Amino acid sequence: MASGINERLWLDWLVKVRVIIITILLAIEMAIVTLTATHVSRTLFVLVILGWYAAGAVHLVLAARARHGWALLAKAQILCDLCFATAVIYLSGGIDTSFNFLYPLLIIVAATMIGSGWAYLTAGLSFVLFGGMLDLCYFEVIHSYSNSHPGLKSLQAVIFINLFAFFSVAYLASRLATRLRQADVALSDKSSELENLQLLHQSIVHCISSGLIITGLDGAIKLMNPAALGLLGRSQEEAATLNAADFFISPLPVAGAERTEVRTRTPAGAEKMFGVGCSALLGGAGDTIGYIYTFTDLTEIRHLERELRLRDRLAAVGRLAAGIAHEIRNPLSSIAGSVKMLSGIAALNDDQRELVGIVNRESERLNSIISDFLTYSRDRKFESARVDLCGLLRDTLLLLENRGEGIRLVHDFAVSEAWAEGDGDKLKQVFWNLASNAQRAMPSGGTLTVALDAQDGQWRIRFRDTGPGIAPQLIEKLFEPFQSGFEGGTGLGLAIVYRIMQAHDAHISVHSEPGVGTEFTLLFPPWRNAGEEDEVPQDQLAGEAFSGRESESK
């Protein structure tokens, strides 16, 4: 069968078209026989038509069951149709028939389905069958159903005119079929190229790590790649019902503008920062038919930038604190000592004694601030050892309970032991500062929950209070010096905590909701021996059962 032609498709088409043509022939001939006077045998004609139907049914079954050999089936159908077409032409009047168009039709089918060679072969067979049938009728070898009896020359003229017509149709049909096959091959090639381009487009859209959203002019989402769904924490169903602006808190940039930073909040409650760019989606006429938004997650980068700026500021303040502390402490000690001596030898009235007391108290406060300065600014040289975080927490919370400040302490330890590397005294200082800050944040009472568990192979400690919370604008500067939120505080407590956590390669973060409370989270790497795996068993890191106690301090 000719290259470029879908053999199965054309064969199915031929079987269906044959049934339609046979039915039309039957209807036409029945009308002719009924309405006009002819010598046509209605019975024989109906039998031929029924035989043609039966042959068509056989070919239909063969085509349905065949897995290969489509060309052979097509050739067999052409030969079979030639025979039945000749029988129909013979029974419908021979030279007077109205159905001699069946031969050109079969020639066209042969040229289209099989090729130009079979088109000329079909034309030749049509000439032989048609001419032979007319000759046999003329010489009365077989019965003639025609109404007219032309002479020999007229008969020969009809035969050769049909010969010319058959081969002309074969030539034209072959040329047309060749063009059709070439167009089909070209279309197939273009379809393959289009499929490859579509696959490439889908591969690029689905594989890029950046988020991609394509919208219409009204903002309705036309396409959202998996990376965008993952970054935004959304589903494909949500993308089909929402506009692009619904996913972001900040306004999106306009087409052609520079990339801007846009905030969003995921359904899980996490706030993220994205770098978003927008470009116009152009149609074939060059007009804007939509917008393309591309974005990347800048949350972690901005967090690292803030942490780096904080470390730089803390380092600068630490150097300044060291110089100031040493310059102020000595004269301050002299002033405090002199005032105490004067208060003991001079006859002072009550007002004067009150002033001396103020000087003494303020001197002590300044000395406390300078001590914190020195603690903050001194070199971070700690005595590192294997320590149990559970034990350190219990000791710290026991001291807090004995202060009797009217808060409720809740212990929530998921493990009985949590071994890490660090300086026990410094870590106690971290725990004490966080616990006492939480206590001071609840002057009217409340609940302080201290939890210890494992997360992603690290020990996680959380201090969660039920105080008024911290304003969002203060969170970023919380670990900087002189950011105290309590009256009389030096503002160095959390800065020292941050410094100690840095020295232990640990991480501290804070999450606060105004009116709900504040939670400080500390992450410590577990104890490791050199060249060995974790000293802490994995099942313990996964959360070994431990009966933590819950205590209250009146």
One-character DSSP codes across 334-384: HHHHHHHHHHHHS---HHHHHHHHHHHHHHHHHHHHHHHHHHHHS------
Q: Quick check: helix, strand or coil at residue 223? A: strand
For residues 121, 124, 129, 135, the Cα torsion angle rounded to the nearest 10 degrees is: -170
Pick the CATH number of 385-552 from 3.30.565.10, 3.30.590.10, 2.60.120.10, 3.40.640.10: 3.30.565.10
pLDDT score of 94: 82
Q: First vs last Cα of the chain: how many Å apart?
A: 97
Amino acid at 479: F
Write the burial class of residue 86 (CB in 10 Å: 0-12 exposed, 13-18 middle, 19+ buried): buried
Distance in angstroms (rounded) separating the CA atoms of residues 87 and 92? 8
Please tell me the total number of residues recorded for the chain in this structure. 554
pLDDT in tens, 194-252: 888 878 877 777 778 788 888 888 888 888 888 888 888 888 787 778 888 888 888 88
| Residues paired with 455 in a beta bridge | 458
Long-range contacts of 468-473 (CB under 8 A, 24+ apart): 468/441, 468/514, 468/515, 469/512, 469/513, 469/514, 469/515, 469/516, 469/517, 469/518, 470/510, 470/512, 470/514, 470/518, 471/514, 472/512, 472/514
Cβ–Cβ under 8 Å, residues 111 and 14:
no
Q: Where in the chain is the domain with CATH 1.10.287?
A: 302-377
Q: Quick check: helix, strand or coil at residue 527? A: coil
pLDDT score of 304: 80
Instruction: Tell me which residue of 470, 477, 402, 410 sits closest to 441, measured CA to CA.
Output: 470
Backbone angles phi, psi at 225, to 5 degrees: -80, 165
State the pairing for strand pair 408-413/550-552: antiparallel
Distance in angstroms (rounded) separating the CA atoms of residues 432 and 437? 8
Q: Quick check: helix, strand or coil at residue 298? A: coil
pLDDT score of 534: 44
* CA-to-CA dists, residue 515 to 55, 262, 465, 468, 470, angstroms: 88, 27, 11, 5, 9
pLDDT score of 180: 81
pLDDT score of 97: 80
**Segments in 92-234 forming alpha helices (H):** 102-113, 116-138, 152-207, 226-232
pLDDT score of 547: 38
Q: What is the CATH number that goes with domain 302-377?
A: 1.10.287
pLDDT score of 15: 67
Distance in angstroms (rounded) separating the CA atoms of residues 234 and 103? 65
pLDDT score of 374: 65
Cβ–Cβ under 8 Å, residues 296 and 230:
no
* CA-to-CA dists, residue 446 to 406, 434, 436, 464, 552, angstroms: 8, 15, 13, 11, 10
pTM over 0.85: no
| Residues paired with 508 in a beta bridge | 522
Cβ–Cβ under 8 Å, residues 146 and 154:
no
Pick the CATH number of 208-297 from 3.10.129.10, 1.10.3720.10, 3.30.450.20, 3.40.50.2300: 3.30.450.20
Neighbours of 192 (CB within 10 A): 10
pLDDT score of 413: 92
Q: Where in the chain is the domain with CATH 3.30.450.20?
A: 208-297
**Segments in 378-521 forming alpha helices (H):** 389-403, 424-440, 472-475, 493-503
Distance in angstroms (rounded) separating the CA atoms of residues 426 and 502? 12
Distance in angstroms (rounded) separating the CA atoms of residues 443 and 467? 9
Place of tokens 């991609």: 212
Neighbours of 241 (CB within 10 A): 9
Distance in angstroms (rounded) separating the CA atoms of residues 552 and 131? 117
Place of tokens 């289009």: 194
Q: For residue 552, what is the enclosing H or E element? A: strand 550-552
Backbone angles phi, psi at 412, to 5 degrees: -135, 75
Q: Where in the chain is the domain with CATH 3.30.565.10?
A: 385-552
Q: Quick check: helix, strand or coil at residue 35? A: helix
Cβ–Cβ under 8 Å, residues 18 and 92:
no
Residues (pLDDT < 70) of the chain are: 1-15, 29, 32-40, 67-70, 314, 317-319, 321-327, 329-330, 343-347, 372-382, 403-405, 481-491, 529-554
Cβ–Cβ under 8 Å, residues 445 and 407:
yes
pLDDT score of 10: 62
